[in-house]
Amino acid sequence: MPTALRNPWVQLVAGVVCMAMIANLQYGWTVFVNPLATKHGWANAAIQISFTIFVLVETWLVPFEAALVDRYGPRVMVAIGGLLAGLAWVIDAYADSLFLLYVAGAIAGIGAGIVYGTCIGNALKWFAGRRGLAAGLTSAGFGAGAAITVIPLTMMIRSSGYEHTFLFFGILQGLVILVFSMLLVTPPKAAPQAAKLNPRVLQGTRDYTPAQTLGSPVFWVMYVMFVLVASGGLTAVAQLAPIANDRYINNIPVTILGITAPALTYALSLNNIMNGITRPLLGFVSDRIGRETTMFGAFLLEGIGIFALMQWGVTPVAFVLLSGLVFFAWGEIYSIFPATTRDHFGQKYATTNYGMLYTAKGTASLLVPTAGVITAATGSWSAVLAIAAAFNIVAAVMALAVLRPLRVREINKTGTQAPGVAA
């Protein structure tokens, strides 16, 4: 491979850019919901099925796509993913039935899953002692990538219609991924030089096969925690615009730090920034104080933030600030969980093992449509937000009371503990 491409930071930057280009598939979706409903008369719950299909396909196919990455390399797979991601929004631009909308959601999920799983796996393999930071920076592209395009998306929808917006951004995003995918390469077979890890980070030396990973209680505890936290975050992502609309604050101007924008637009931009900042920041923190301790603090903060959004997020300023807090506390699952997977289950099958855990996001997405049902039955979003807050608090307790003791026991049982040293 060209010498310049052997630099881990080149690989990281290329992965971040590719991740940023699939961010709108998830985080920009909410701005299209109301325009789709207005034009076609489709119910909100019916439109959000497309979002659920996207997340299910994006997550549940990652383990299989990871096997293809091992065979064909990251360059080919990410290029394919970019083409599919672009095609999906082109189909959305012309979709005149829910069926086509659902087909586009599935295609977008395949493309995004390929890009996401490949780039995260590549980052974990290129960086040894800073896995939390590397995974955080890579996933930050997915978390914050939509921040710079939410306002252009909203403005283009208003000026040219959602169809033109889907078409323009679909082609643009697909082409950028295609270009940057050419920079991605598999790391050398020789493992990167071992780096010291903080002793607070539990670290094993055993490489678990995917089958052995599925047989580990640690994996399933992490899976349950992932579902609990992701379900609340995905609900907020998908329903933020309807929540603001139902509270009649979506178009009210908000001025914070000298910047003025409609409440919903401001919230979406701030949320994507916060969601991006938290991933490398808390990934870095987890490299210092331990994965489980960081999980506890972040999940507890998320639960408190969602509860506060339920109680006091009825004014434009409070809605913007509290939703930003929720997104900050939620985004870290996409840096800490892949790092923990690599720490506990080893490097050899790291991409596939995290791919299996990442399917928890798809499982969590199944709960998103129920938010609309619960809201219709209760007449407000309070019940949905209260459930999401409770989920996060339960996950926070599990991090210290269940996950860490279980990891210590399993590592000690296999005799593979390597405190302070990367595998």
Q: HSE on the CB side for 57, CA within 13 Å?
A: 24
How is 148-173 classified by DSSP, letter by letter?
A: TTHHHHHHHHHHH-HHHHHHHHHHHH
Q: Which two tokens stand for residue 130?
A: 């800073």
What pLDDT score was predicted for residue 6? Answer: 76
Neighbours of 413 (CB within 10 A): 9
Q: Which two tokens stand for residue 11?
A: 């690989």
Q: How many residues does the chain have?
A: 423
420 or 88, which is more confident: 88
What pLDDT score was predicted for residue 128? Answer: 67
Per-residue pLDDT tens digits for 22-70 = 999 988 888 898 899 999 999 887 998 898 899 889 888 888 887 788 7
Per-residue pLDDT tens digits for 175-211 = 999 999 999 988 776 444 444 556 778 888 788 999 9
Neighbours of 419 (CB within 10 A): 12
Per-residue pLDDT tens digits for 95-147 = 999 999 999 999 999 999 999 989 988 888 888 667 888 888 998 888 677 77
Helices (H), 247-349: 263-289, 291-312, 316-330, 333-345
Closest C-alpha among 403, 188, 387, 367 to residue 303: 387
Distance separating alpha carbons of residues 407 and 341, to the nearest angstrom: 11
Distance separating alpha carbons of residues 316 and 255, to the nearest angstrom: 10
pLDDT band, very low/low/confident/very high, at 250 (cuts 50, 70, 90):
confident
Q: What is the DSSP letter of 380?
A: S
What is the average per-residue pLDDT within 9-31? 90
Strands (E) in 285-355, as ranges, are none
Helix, strand, or coil (residue 184)? coil
Distance separating alpha carbons of residues 277 and 384, to the nearest angstrom: 26
Distance separating alpha carbons of residues 416 and 351, to the nearest angstrom: 21
Distance separating alpha carbons of residues 393 and 299, to the nearest angstrom: 6
What pLDDT score was predicted for residue 79? Answer: 96
**Residue 196 forms beta bridges with which residues?**
421
Per-residue pLDDT tens digits for 340-389 = 998 899 877 888 898 899 899 888 878 777 877 888 888 888 888 899 89
Closest C-alpha among 362, 59, 340 to residue 219: 340
Neighbours of 212 (CB within 10 A): 15
Kindly calculate the radius of gyration of the chain based on its CA atoms and give it in whole angstroms: 20
What pLDDT score was predicted for residue 189? Answer: 61
Q: Which two tokens stand for residue 269?
A: 């931009």
Domains and CATH numbers, the chain: 3-414 (1.20.1250.20)
